[in-house]
Structure 1
Amino acid sequence: MSRIGTGVAARWSGRPPRRVAAVMAATLGLSVALGGTSLADRNANGASTPAVTRAGLDPSLVAGRGASVDFAEQEAENAATNGTVIGPDRTAYTLPSEASGRRAVKLTPGQHVEFTLPGAANAITVRYSIPDAPNGGGITAPLNVTVNGGARKSMTLTSQYAWLYNQYPFSNDPNADLLHPDWWITECACVPAATTPTPAITKPFRPSHFYDEQRLLLGRTYRAGDRVRLTVPAGSNAAWTVIDLLDSHLVGAPHVRLVAANVLAFGADPLGRRDSADAFDRAIAFAKGKRLKVYIPPGTYQVNRHIIVDDVTIEGAGNWYTIIKGREVTLPAPAPDGSVHTGVGFYGKDASAGGSDDVHLSGFAIEGDVRERIDTDQVNGVGGAMSNSTISGLHIRHTKVGLWFDGPMTNLKITNNVVVDQIADGLNFHTGVTNSVVSNNFIRNSGDDGLAMWSEKTSNAGNTFDHNTVQTPVLANGIAVYGGTDNTVSNNLVADPIREGSAIQVGSRFGAEAFAGHLWVRDNTTVRAGTYELNWNIGLGAIWFYALEKNIAADIQVVGNHFLDNTYNAIMLVSDWPVKDLYSITNVHFKDIRVDGTGTSVVSARVKGSASFENVDARNVGAVGVNNCGAFNFPSTGSEFSLTDLGGNDGGGTTGPWLAPWELPNTITCDDRPPVVAPPAPSPW
């Protein structure tokens, strides 16, 4: 969510009821590095057997879930290298914690990592991190690319879009003092402004958002078994370069539309030397008058403001070929919506002006220039209100939010897009979006929720998030639903949330309208989820329900989900201490669930209410199966939260069956900070 108060960390509004010792990073039990050991190349010619993964997992474990993508993912830690594998680590503010699969390869100048192509490819994407400048702002550094030792290509890596620091909404300055000295700080267990003397913080304070990624066309097609080597040249000014993964692509020929309003005919510059926004406007106006499509041929086009779209189809040659790229521009005076900047973006008309209708965008990339988080700024890749519209085949990076929609609006289909390296959300349905579908999209490295439905002021209703992949959201959740009516989250793959959120959140918060009708959470897979909540000093669940502002009482069916390698709990239901006796969570039904590995419990309840469980199978459970604190009043009648066993709940861990008969319906088993037992890697069920 792109607003003040995002994540749990806006401010701790009440101390936990029981004081505990400060939880150190080691408590996670998951920060074991590999001792800094340098790995030698794995065979005589420097190649290794290709290990293709999905979200760092064997693809068989996530078959049929997540987005179907046109690339093969290979983790650097599985490739041949003379560098150093870092991780695994799930502690926030570390390089491996933000890496896919929580491991990566660190190279110093002169070192390399080499990937063996699993199939034909003519393009690659490299996800990487390099250091920030000492005073912020980023640096650039080279990375050499060779295939089979042949001709060298060079990529210019940058950290100008990475490295945020401090408290929300974050700073680009590694030397900054606290942005909010009146906020609760976990590190000192204090409110600094109320503490005498004021505790010092270690600078840079809470560094995060380390990674970026770049794409490169290789110039020809290579075969399976060919070796792509990434080498940091000896003269690099980057003290280190971390390679997280390589995606290999087989990119098709450019799409051509002959009968169309070609933007070149209206003065657009495909070399990006001058601003083409006015030319785009002229092409759109002509196309609407002649009932033609707008075509943007291959090239890089400079656009430094919003392009307003309504009743128009705009096609590019493909997102590897048609790139719309813009600078962030400071406005001479704040806009009515509070924006102080503008930048590249395709926007429907504002809902107050009736919104836009019949808009179709496809086949191009949007590259912004957003390096700081200003929540009032409309510097998103796609925005406004668009009804009866489609968005497909876009590649969006370096904007604030990839796609942000303010309704009322209806019948929008968002499919087959890639959204990476955002300062805030990947996509957000904000207020009054109905009967719309987000399907087969790939989201990586969002600075906030990967996908969100936020029913502020007006409910989102009848929407579906289906078969999407969300990886490494740096803050908050992979998928979040804040209020709404009759919505569905299905067949998604969510991996590696970093902090103050988890894979899936169902939340009554941020001023959202109440949940009504039903919410289906079906057939999703999460992995390495359940982050450590810094302000509460507890571990979250891979899926967590949060009743902060209202009861959660709609018909919620959580069916067919797989929760793999959970850092803490698989399932969590929680309220906040100041409202613990006001709000409850009821009418939640868990059925046909697989839980493979928990650092702590299968279920953790810190709220009033109830839930039912049927055919929930668990294994490799690290602590007692159910942690049931209820609302922390500890009445003699039992916990304020009741669990109903509908049968078929099997398995457990070292403490016995996860759902033991003596725990039902509401036995108090309150230990929400047990020792963490790192689960084994997921395996076939």
Structure 2
Amino acid sequence: MPRSTLTAALLVAAVACGLTAPPALAASSAPVPKVTRAALDPALVAGRGAAVAFDEQEAENAATNGTVIGPDRSAYTLLAEASGRKAVRLAPGQHVEFTLPARANAITVRYSIPDAPGGGGITAPLDVTVNGGRRTSMTLTSQYSWLYNQYPFSNDPGAGLLHPDWWITECACVPAATTPPPVIAKPFRPSHFYDEQRLLLGRTYRAGDRVRLTAPAGRAAEWTVIDLLDSELVGPPKVELRAANVLAFGADPTGRRDSAGAIEQAIAYAKRKRLKVYLPPGTYQVNRHIIVDDVTITGAGSWYTVVKGREVALPEPAPDGSVHTGVGFYGKPAAEGGSRNVHLSGFAIEGDVRERIDTDQVNGIGGAMSDSTIDGLHIRHTKAGMWFDGPMSNLRVTNTIIVDQIADAVNFHTGVTNSSVSNSFIRNSGDDALAMWSEKSTNAGNTFDHNTVQSPVLANGIAVYGGTDNTISGNLVADPVREGSALQVGSRFGAEPFAGRLDITGNTTVRSGTYELNWNIGLGAIWFYALERDIAADIRVTGNDFLDTTYNAIMLVSEWSVKDLYAITNVHFKDLRVDGTGTSVVSARVKGSATFENVDARNVGAVGVNNCGSFGFPATGSEFSLEDRGGNDGGWLAPWLLPNTITCDDRPPVVPPPAPSPW
């Protein structure tokens, strides 16, 4: 495709992404700062999600002479991937100004700028001033964003279909089997638009001071979209005096020379002397895996100590199929016994992953780590933030931030037991943000507790694929974009069966329930998917809040091809609050049963229960039954719906729900 055609195509993509907005708003005086959590009043999510050190402010609530864009939840748009589904577009010379709600000396800016016409990204400055004082320039980049096409995606906006033999919604056909072949607009399905940058401001500012972000004129970017700003008071660097300091072994804190060998020498020395390894403030270049076992590595804090590397092409594929390596801290493989007693804390990991190659081991943390802890890390631009391949046991991940991933943020894969992720913050994962995947060997006794997940671009906020006696509790999940939703319980991907008990307790979801392109239907905020076997464990969904759900709050579904083979049973819903659904409270598209007790609902867009069962439509009623255990308020579970009245509307009209409010 000629470059001029590509440029025009990218402009078309920008239109699709929500950048043809109304005329710019007039500048206004600085408003009272509006701190939100996942674009909600914090009172609506009190006690849910991670307790973080920063205050989050949405750009659409700040003062600007740019243009507020949104809301829109349609996939492949900048609006859908924005927190709260709104953002601010700046033309060159325009600004958005945030008022600090508390003392701060550091900010994080979530933004998007255009791709290069031929893909690969551009860079552009963003000016930062506080109270109109000294100007600092951040360098924004789109080199880690703007993916296109079908899974596993392309960096080329001009690429043809990666899988012309797949059915696609755009033509409602299989292109390779269609005569004549359909014309598919390019770029096809642009996505993964956002990135974020952190900046230490050099001094501490007071509550009420104004942070202005300006897109300067004469820059490469035709527009800049600002989604939000996090402001934080970062403490001084942590110092470890009794430790193996990597500087003593030749590590370069300027990042100019590779420090992998020096860090490994420090690890070997620390293990002999039973010391910690200390990474002082600085940027350390590491372009391969550091293997860790029976060692403690600590930095000065994730704002001060950065371990950063390039993605490196291997001369030939590794035995595991990897064709690249890159920065990462890896436990030994489980086949070699795994690692134990690994403790990592207080530093950042910055990768250089710009494409998705599923066989590549280019994750921030990997391998097997038992009896280990990971605390206070900041991970970005790796493939998966953390991917653990068991068997392994007793890992604790706490107080960690994982952003801007090509794939998952954390995946407990294959035989991970008695492990947890808690009080951690995840934004802009390229696949499931938090996943327990019991492939080949079951996961058991694990917990994802009080984490915040925002804007997973693909798949689910939190997913459990098989396993025994696991818990999902106290989490906040917001704004999933496509091919998944906030919470999923799935019999798929070759997972071992669910057994024992699965508790999904005290979570809040907001603006979830995406549109499933392949099925041409909307998903639930929580959805159960029986694809490869029955789901029959004791599953308790208790005390959850489903807010502003795009389609239905609860979905139980099976694939059409196996609808007569598999069922979902023994699921118990209790003490739930459903505030706003575009369609129904419950959508049943599978055979089986569930119980409901003290499920309160309001602002329901259609009938309370959309019961299709397994689409056999027998005279005896739906193949899916609901049991009313009392206390179900709001009229959604009317007596005439019980136990199995067929109320099937395959694609019911959607009534956008109102914004959530106090119950």
Name the structure 1 match of 2:188: 205
How many angstroms apart in 2 are the aligned matches of 1:498 and 1:364? 30
Name the structure 1 match of 2:25: 39
Residue 258 of structure 2, aligned match among 275, 291, 311: 275
How many angstroms apart in 1 are the aligned matches of 2:395 and 2:21? 50
Give the Å deviation of 1:38. 2.2
Q: Deviations over 1:79-108 (max 9, x none)?
A: 000000110000000111100000000000
Q: Is the 8 A contact 1:33 1:87 kept in 2?
A: no
Residue 517 of structure 2, aligned match among 512, 534, 537: 534
Q: How does 1:280-359 map to 2 (within 5 A)?
A: 280-359=263-342
Name the structure 2 match of 1:166: 149
How many angstroms apart in 1 are the aligned matches of 2:308 and 2:355? 17
Q: Is the 8 A contact 1:37 1:85 kept in 2?
A: no
Identity of aligned residues (%): 82
* SS of the residue 2:631 aligns to: coil
Amino acid at match of 1:549: E
Gaps of 5+ in 2: 1-16
Relative to structure 1, is the Cα distance of residues 32 and 178 closer, same or farther in structure 2, using a 3 angstrom cutoff? closer
Give the Å deviation of 1:32. 10
Q: How does 1:192-591 map to 2 (within 5 A)?
A: 192-591=175-574
Q: Is the 8 A contact 2:130 2:212 kept in 1?
A: yes
Q: Is the 8 A contact 2:331 2:366 kept in 1?
A: yes
In the alignment, structure 1 residue 139 sits paired with structure 2 residue 117: no
Amino acid at match of 1:583: Y
Give the Å deviation of 1:341. 0.3
* SS of the residue 1:513 aligns to: coil
How many angstroms apart in 2 are the aligned matches of 1:587 and 1:367? 44
How many angstroms apart in 2 are the aligned matches of 1:125 and 1:326? 21
Give the Å deviation of 1:490. 0.2
In the alignment, structure 1 residue 681 sits paired with structure 2 residue 663: no
Amino acid at match of 1:660: A
* SS of the residue 1:187 aligns to: coil
Give the Å deviation of 1:34. 10
Residue 662 of structure 1, aligned match among 630, 635, 640: 640
* SS of the residue 1:186 aligns to: coil
Q: Is the 8 A contact 2:21 2:67 kept in 1?
A: no
Q: Is the 8 A contact 2:72 2:80 kept in 1?
A: yes
Name the structure 2 match of 1:78: 61
How many angstroms apart in 2 are the aligned matches of 1:682 and 1:611? 26
* SS of the residue 1:366 aligns to: strand
Amino acid at match of 2:641: E
Name the structure 1 match of 2:12: none
Amino acid at match of 2:46: A
Name the structure 2 match of 1:672: 650
* SS of the residue 1:286 aligns to: helix
Q: Deviations over 1:546-568 (max 9, x none)?
A: 00001000000000000000000
Gaps of 5+ in 1: 1-30, 652-656
Relative to structure 1, is the Cα distance of residues 84 and 476 closer, same or farther in structure 2, using a 3 angstrom cutoff? same
How many angstroms apart in 2 are the aligned matches of 1:50 and 1:36? 24
Q: Deviations over 1:231-263 (max 9, x none)?
A: 000111100000000000100000000010000
How many angstroms apart in 1 are the aligned matches of 2:163 and 2:585? 35
Q: Is the 8 A contact 1:540 1:568 kept in 2?
A: yes
How many angstroms apart in 1 are the aligned matches of 2:81 and 2:21? 19
Q: Is the 8 A contact 1:615 1:648 kept in 2?
A: yes
Amino acid at match of 2:134: A
Give the Å deviation of 1:614. 0.3
Give the Å deviation of 1:41. 2.3
Name the structure 1 match of 2:9: none
How many angstroms apart in 2 are the aligned matches of 1:671 and 1:677? 14
Q: Deviations over 1:143-188 (max 9, x none)?
A: 0000000000000000000000000000000000000000010111
In the alignment, structure 1 residue 180 sits paired with structure 2 residue 166: no
Give the Å deviation of 1:33. 9.9
By relative contact order (CA 8 Å, sep 6+), the higher-ranking structure is 1
Q: Is the 8 A contact 1:464 1:488 kept in 2?
A: yes
Amino acid at match of 1:459: T
How many angstroms apart in 1 are the aligned matches of 2:161 and 2:340? 45
Name the structure 2 match of 1:14: none
Amino acid at match of 2:660: P
Q: Is the 8 A contact 1:32 1:88 kept in 2?
A: no
Q: TM-score, normalization: structure 2? A: 0.97
Give the Å deviation of 1:673. 1.1
Name the structure 1 match of 2:4: none
* SS of the residue 2:170 aligns to: helix
How many angstroms apart in 1 are the aligned matches of 2:217 and 2:335? 57
Amino acid at match of 1:160: Q
Amino acid at match of 1:539: G
How many angstroms apart in 2 are the aligned matches of 1:36 and 1:353? 60
Name the structure 2 match of 1:28: none
* SS of the residue 1:188 aligns to: coil
Amino acid at match of 1:385: A
